[in-house]
Structure 1
């Protein structure tokens, strides 16, 4: 008695194809999220650097051999806002500065938020994720 098995491979192939498609979708989304977070971090780094250089000459103190610039919260925020406005498109939507300021008068901290949208929207990925990054830069003379 010989039994023939027919059609057993088709459900396996369809299942494997569905798993592979889901994996590719999630991998593409994770890669896109990582790259967009790095782009947003580059914007935050540039804004923090511009903000760290926002001091005026009148705000510089000399103590011995050390030249110490002093940052103000208003100047830090204005410089960060100007940098983000000029930065242009980053691939991340709704880029905005959440906070910009200085805690010690010698370093500028900038927090930037944006919305990431996946390249392939589906059941495995959300429609959008809010990404927040923070960068700090110090004002120094060397």
Structure 2
């Protein structure tokens, strides 16, 4: 009996020291995880860049709206020249700016949500567009809406 116990112990030691087994399953799991992380980083970078482009377009539109006054619509307040804006001229200037800007056509479903003035001195523009991830477009075919708001004010100095 001693011999069989020793033989079993030796066989167990040999089995524990061997490198038999497969790491293929572990490699496949880590490769899939790495691919998922890369896809998420690509999608989030794409979303950030698209939002930045839309915000830049909204800044330009708000500036065009803030400059939509005529010299007849300027008044003197506390020895400072102040332009007076109205919502219709701001909206018309924003529409004209978006029609003349070539980068406005690169956005999907670009809409002007708001182009107005609240205090007759500054123009507020809110734009909305749809973002579709480049790599994951099969999973999210409709994309996600992006809304940005920009405010600009004309100042005489």
Give TM-score scaled by structure 2 length: 0.83
Counterpart of 1:31 (choices 15, 33, 45) is 45
Task: State the partner residue of 1:114.
Answer: 129
Task: State the partner residue of 1:56.
Answer: 70
What 5-or-longer segments of structure 2 have no aligned partner?
1-10
- Aligned partner of residue 137 in structure 1, secondary structure: strand
Shift of residue 6, structure 1, vs aligned partner: 2.2
Q: State the distance in 1 between where 2:46 and 2:78 align.
A: 50
Q: State the distance in 1 between where 2:128 and 2:99 align.
A: 14
What 5-or-longer segments of structure 1 have no aligned partner?
none
> Runs ≥4 in structure 1, deviation > 4 angstroms?
none
Task: State the partner residue of 1:133.
Answer: 148
* Structure (1/2) with the larger helix percentage: 2
RMSD: 1.6
Give TM-score scaled by structure 1 length: 0.92
Please list the CA deviations of residues 50-84 of structure 1 after superposition, one character each: whole Å capped at 9, or x if unmatched: 00000011111123521010001000001111111
Give matches, 1:1-142, under 5 Å.
1=11, 2-3=14-15, 4=18, 5-7=20-22, 9-89=23-103, 91-121=106-136, 126-127=140-141, 128-142=143-157
Q: Which has the larger radius of gyration?
A: 2
